[in-house]
Chains A and B, each alone.
Chain A
Amino acid sequence: MFESISAYAYLVASALFILGLKRLGSPRTAPQGNVMAAGGMLIAIVATLFHQDIVRYEGIIAGILLGSIIGAATAYRVQMTAMPQMVAIFNGLGGAASALVAASELTRLNMAGANPDAFITVPIALGCLIGAVTLTGSLIAFAKLQEIISGSPILFPLQNGLNLLIAVGVLGLSVLLVMDPSDPRLLWSIVGLAAFLGILLVIPIGGADMPVVISLLNSYSGLAACATGFVIQNQVLIISGSLVGASGLILTQIMCRAMNRSLANVLFGGFGATAANTAIATSASGGIAKSGTPDDAAAIFDAARSVIIVPGYGLAVAQAQHAVRDLGDMLEARGIEVTYAIHPVAGRMPGHMNVLLAEADVPYEKLVEMERINSSFPRTDVALVIGANDVTNPDARENPGSPIYGMPILEVDKAKTVMVIKRSMSPGFAGIENPLFTMPQTIMLFGDGKSMVESLISAVKEL
């Protein structure tokens, strides 16, 4: 009786997950989609609570209460700028939960004296392996994003060789576990070694590549849930795990394409370490940047018909989103056409900049993707770059020697005037020199993002 009722409930839950994700296709329907997915989760959880094997509820209630308090407190408190860290840590928890379920199930089967076959033990090994890698990998990504540890790649000799050796070791242990599932030491060795591998796989990846890493770990957390679904032979786990796995893979691919890098290059290239050296080499030959005042900028705005604002992560760091929205409104009131150009890796995770601007009430219709806006720059009077650097670097298009050569960029250098708000001439997150700053049509507005935008606002007011 229970079996069939819960199976139907799981089917309803799966359908709600799919419908919910479908509704994420437009900002209008998205809030409803999220509620549908959450409803699906609630149905799945309630249906499971009636499972015949569940006879004690104290632990479950305690776990759900504690988890809900932590989850809700984090969700309400987190700053939008810290969203990548939060998603990273949540990915890790999801992976850990999947690994624990797989380990718990094997322990239970062994206690019951069952001799699980390979159809169960292979997914157990995979669930523990992927889950543990996801947990520790996410923790390292979190620490890098939170700047608890340095964002620059940590490299040592024979790193990839060591990783390969550990990967082979984990796979070897997995084979042994499948042959003899009753030995718990094998299970815990797999978990331990995979956890170590997760750390080693993420430490060589530079801070600028974190959007790729978070997307990939997102995918892993889904695949870990999937493997666990095979262990307990539950369709809803497999379906939702695959949806998340697919989602993470697509985002990973989009991020890699936006940086013109292969996934292998991101994961094993140690990018950023070599780039820093090149930056030193080129900075000596760099030209002279032209510095301007807010009044100079206001005079140019006065004559402008169209402005494209190019926000980067530096804008969020300076908490300048609201000031930028005010400046945009003011320019629009003067009859100037204002749009925002969003590079796919403008923030620290896919779509991050859009959330930051949405928080400041910039209508999403004004945010234009890179492919669609690049043709507009030659017709634009002013490109205002705030806290963005590498994504506007013309070297990516023109200089085959540049470490970011081939990366698709926002072609701000084609605008009639380029204004760049920046603290100093120092290179960006990836440590690469940007010739945009020394071009004849570029005016550098040195200062903190927020106070400079506020100065621009008062200068425009006085026109």
Chain B
Amino acid sequence: MEGTFILVITIFVLAMFLGFEVITKVPPTLHTPLMSGSNAISGIAIIGALIGAGAEQTSLASILGIVAVTLATVNVVGGFLVTDRMLKMFVSKRKG
């Protein structure tokens, strides 16, 4: 168990560093899309929700899972779509 923990915490620390490096390069003009896009990414909790929601018998665990799937889907679908909508505005529609 501790072996797995060391592995995952290593990934966590390295991903934090990576996150700081990547995100600092995003210009202020794109901070709102960055926020809504990264918000959509945080809907990744849906992965854990799916496993709980698909359990064989209906139980408290599976009901919580289904609610979590719904909320996370709103977050993921809404987040990516609205980011797309915003980013397209930055590509100028005016000619020349």
- Find out whether the CB atom of B22 lies under 8 angstroms from the CB atom of A243: yes
Chain A interface, number of residues (Cβ within 8 angstroms) = 113
Q: Which residue of B lies closest to A232 (CB)?
A: B48
- Find out whether the CB atom of B33 lies under 8 angstroms from the CB atom of A105: no
**A104 contacts across to B, CB distance below 8 A:** 48-49, 52, 60-62, 64-65, 68
Could you tell me the distance between the alpha carbons of A48 and B40 in the complex, rounded to whole angstroms?
18
Partner of A75, one of B30, B68, B70, B82: B82
- Find out whether the CB atom of B12 lies under 8 angstroms from the CB atom of A355: no
Q: Which residue of B lies closest to A26 (CB)?
A: B27
Could you tell me the distance between the alpha carbons of A349 and B31 in the complex, rounded to whole angstroms?
8
**B73 contacts across to A, CB distance below 8 A:** 63-64, 66-68, 71
- Find out whether the CB atom of A240 lies under 8 angstroms from the CB atom of B42: yes
Interface string of A130-166 (1 = CB under 8 A from B): 0000000000000000000000000000000000000
- Find out whether the CB atom of A63 lies under 8 angstroms from the CB atom of B66: yes
**B42 contacts across to A, CB distance below 8 A:** 91, 94, 98, 218, 221-222, 224-225, 240-241, 244
Could you tell me the distance between the alpha carbons of A62 and B18 in the complex, rounded to whole angstroms?
36
- Find out whether the CB atom of B5 lies under 8 angstroms from the CB atom of A119: yes
- Find out whether the CB atom of A243 lies under 8 angstroms from the CB atom of B34: no
Could you tell me the distance between the alpha carbons of A348 and B19 in the complex, rounded to whole angstroms?
24
CB distance from A347 to the nearest CB of B (A): 8
- Find out whether the CB atom of A67 lies under 8 angstroms from the CB atom of B81: no
Partner of B62, one of A59, A215, A234: A59
CB distance from B51 to the nearest CB of A (A): 5
- Find out whether the CB atom of B85 lies under 8 angstroms from the CB atom of A67: no
Interface string of A216-246 (1 = CB under 8 A from B): 0010011011101111111111111111111
**B56 contacts across to A, CB distance below 8 A:** 55-56
CB distance from B32 to the nearest CB of A (A): 4
Partner of B61, one of A108, A245, A248: A108
Interface string of B41-60 (1 = CB under 8 A from A): 11111111111111110011
- Find out whether the CB atom of B53 lies under 8 angstroms from the CB atom of A60: yes
Could you tell me the distance between the alpha carbons of A108 and B65 in the complex, rounded to whole angstroms?
10
Interface residues of B (CB under 8 A from A): 1-2, 4-5, 8-9, 11-12, 15-16, 18-20, 22-56, 59-62, 64-94
17 sampled A-B residue pairs with Cβ under 8 A: A17-B41, A21-B23, A24-B34, A34-B80, A44-B47, A59-B65, A63-B49, A66-B70, A100-B67, A100-B68, A107-B60, A119-B5, A226-B12, A246-B23, A247-B35, A351-B34, A358-B89
